[in-house]
Amino acid sequence: MESGRGKVVVVMGATGAGKSRLAVDLAAHFAGVEVVNADSMQVYRGLDILTNKVPLHEQNGVPHHLLSVIDPSVEFTCRDFRDHAVPIIQDILDRGGLPVVVGGTNFYIQALVSPFLIDDTVQDIQECTLSNHLDEMRLANDDEASGYECLKEIDPVAAQRIHPNNKRQIKRYLELHATTGTLPSLLFQGEAAKVRISGYSF
């Protein structure tokens, strides 16, 4: 990912894959590394063990942004993430640093590269609270039947695309909705990929 004035590194991957450790290790090889958290749960204060936050002593002095900054009672949507993250990234670049965006929530990162996700003109998109997010995450890990029925209620179009026994895909769609408040069927229409943040290329 590049802006008009510098590069931005994005580290994505599954939970427990070592993304945070890699981001910190990059500081040993590149000057000015600063980590920008893109995990929808780690932005909240507390929940350290539940969300597998990198402990302070393992940050090795590398600045971390958007980590434990939001009260759990406050809504923090993809729009909020982008509104917070873009100025932080630009500030790091302006100071000659290297922003490393570390994402356990790919849809936060997608919100950075696809303004469609947070366009005020998009209708019928529900902004989720932390409690809604946790409820849907739990349901995503439940049995296939319950998860599929939930998906049918949330997004019938997306549900029609997958087999009722495809637990992995059901979980992915439910997590997508829980994390972004966006209907999965909207994201896969290809509209989100057509636009980009001004001044950045990917």
pLDDT of residue 163: 86
Q: Which CATH number among 1.10.40.30, 1.10.20.140, 3.80.10.10, 3.40.109.40 corresponds to the domain 130-187? A: 1.10.20.140
For the stretch 115-173, pLDDT in tens is: 544 444 333 334 444 445 455 555 555 555 678 888 888 889 888 888 888 887 888 78
Structure-token match 């917070």, residue found: 84
Distance CA 142, CA 15 (A): 18
Distance CA 77, CA 202 (A): 23
Contact 196, 202 (CB under 8 A): yes
Structure-token match 């290790």, residue found: 25
**Percentage above 70 pLDDT, the chain:** 70
pLDDT of residue 5: 57
Distance CA 160, CA 89 (A): 39
Contact 181, 188 (CB under 8 A): no
Where in the chain are the domains? Answer: 2-121+191-201, 130-187
| Structure-token pair, residue 183 | 């209907």
**Looking at per-residue confidence, does 80 or 193 come out higher?**
80
For the stretch 41-93, pLDDT in tens is: 888 888 777 677 888 889 999 999 999 999 988 888 888 898 999 999 999 99
Query: Are domains 2-121+191-201 and 130-187 of this chain identical in fold?
Result: no
Q: Which of 12, 1, 61, 66 is nearest to 32 (CA)?
A: 61
Distance CA 60, CA 27 (A): 9
Query: How many angstroms separate the Cα of 156 from the Cα of each of 136, 149, 153, 173, 182?
Result: 16, 9, 6, 11, 13
Q: Which of 126, 42, 188, 19 is nearest to 136 (CA)?
A: 126
Contact 110, 21 (CB under 8 A): no
> What is the dotted CATH code of the domain comprising 2-121+191-201?
3.40.50.300
Structure-token match 């931005």, residue found: 8
